[in-house]
Amino acid sequence: MSHPAEPLGLDLDARYAAACELAQAAAERGMTYYRSRNELTVMHKGGDMQDVVSIADKALEDFIRAELLTRFPEDGFVGEEGGHANLEARCVWVIDPIDGTRCFVNGLHNWCVSIGLMVDGKPYLGAIADPNHQELFRGRIGHGAFVNDTPLQVHPAQHVREGVVGAGTTHRPGKENFLPFVQGLLDEGGMFFRNGSGALMTAYVAAGRLIGYYETHLKSWDCLAGVVLLAETGGRINDFFRNDGLLEGNPFLAACPGVYEQLAELIGPSLDA
């Protein structure tokens, strides 16, 4: 198998190592907050009762940003809590310090730290650390994708009835497409699953645990690291980064090749509207 040419003039080995190291270190710090979560101050962003943020989110993103800025001061950043900076840089980090905050603050185990890197405008590497299950999903274009040291492989399903599909929505525009999709999926003999973490559900598609994952509107920090894993395992996604998807987000579909078209048809034109 031929590998794509490496971007020139960048120390990508160091950046890949840093992504894996810092995702795990931040996840360990997150566990300290998680064990004392009843003492955390939790806020709702923009009046959205589903979109919560805690002091742990801010602290972990500050930690990750500070470490990356020290090591790679020329790089740009997009973060869920801290906004964006230096987007014209060749390397732009895309960070979700706690993906699945609602699960985190309510004592559920479905949360993780996600760190992805765009190089020359394209997803290039990513690390997703799930401390509750001692799993590190990691990947780099041309170098494979793994959970810990086990190579990832998408599911061989050819029909939605042959596996489980991740599905999610928020109160953002697009939520009206969720119930019609679920109804169509059930009518086809499929079943859906939601765990509250877009990063983990994307990783689960790359790992073959889910055959697909549809979210009515997702942000880039929830999926960029997982998009790299999918690229390395033969998974498919929709044109997520169109129309400033990096900052604004879009509807998102990730699936194994055998069911992608079936799921896209169930979603309809809203997927790439």
Q: Strand 250-255's sheet: what is its strand order?
A: 191-193, 164-168, 212-218, 250-255, 236-237
pTM tops 0.85, yes or no = yes
pLDDT on residue 3: 54
pLDDT tens readout for residues 96-121 = 999 998 899 899 999 999 999 999 99
- Per-residue pLDDT band for 44 (boundaries 50, 70, 90) equals low
Mean pLDDT taken over the chain: 93
Of 61, 52, 124, nearest to 97 (Cα)? 61
pLDDT on residue 62: 95
Give the C-alpha distances (Å, rounded to integers) separating 110 from 89, 96, 107, 161, 238.
33, 14, 9, 25, 24
Same domain, 113 and 173: no
Q: If you search the block for the tokens 């479905």, which residue do you land on?
A: 110
Same domain, 30 and 104: yes
Domain C-terminal end among 128, 150, 172: 150
Same domain, 137 and 167: no
Residue 155 lies in a domain: no
Residue 4 lies in a domain: no
pLDDT surpasses 90 at 67: yes
Per the structure, the complete domain to which residue 190 belongs is given by: 160-272
Residue 194 lies in a domain: yes
Same domain, 125 and 245: no
pLDDT tens readout for residues 174-192 = 999 999 999 999 999 999 9
- CATH number at 260 reads 3.40.190.80
Domain C-terminal end among 121, 150, 179: 150
Same domain, 194 and 252: yes
Residue % of the chain over a pLDDT of 70: 95
Of 180, 215, 174, nearest to 196 (Cα)? 215
Mean pLDDT of 56-76: 95
pLDDT on residue 250: 97
Mean pLDDT of 219-237: 98
Same domain, 102 and 26: yes
